[in-house]
Amino acid sequence: MRFLLTVAVLFLLPFAGYYTWRGIRAAIAVRRSEGDETGTAADGLPPAPLQVLALVGAGLAITGILALALGGAFGGSGQTGQFHPPTLEDGRVVPGRIDPAEQRREAPPEEEQEPAGDGAHG
To the question of pTM greater than 0.85 for the whole model, the response is no
Residuewise pLDDT in 10s, the chain (122 residues): 777 777 788 888 888 888 888 888 888 888 888 765 555 555 566 667 777 888 888 888 888 888 888 877 776 666 678 889 999 999 999 999 988 877 545 555 565 555 555 555 55
Q: How many CB atoms lie within 10 A of CB 98?
A: 13
In the chain, where the domains are located: 2-38+46-73
Residue 122, classed as helix, strand or coil, is: coil
End-to-end CA distance of the chain: 67
* Cβ pair 74, 5 in contact under 8 A: yes
DSSP 68-121: HHHHHHTTTT---SEEE--EEETTEEEPPEEE-HHHHPPPPPPPP-PPSSSS--
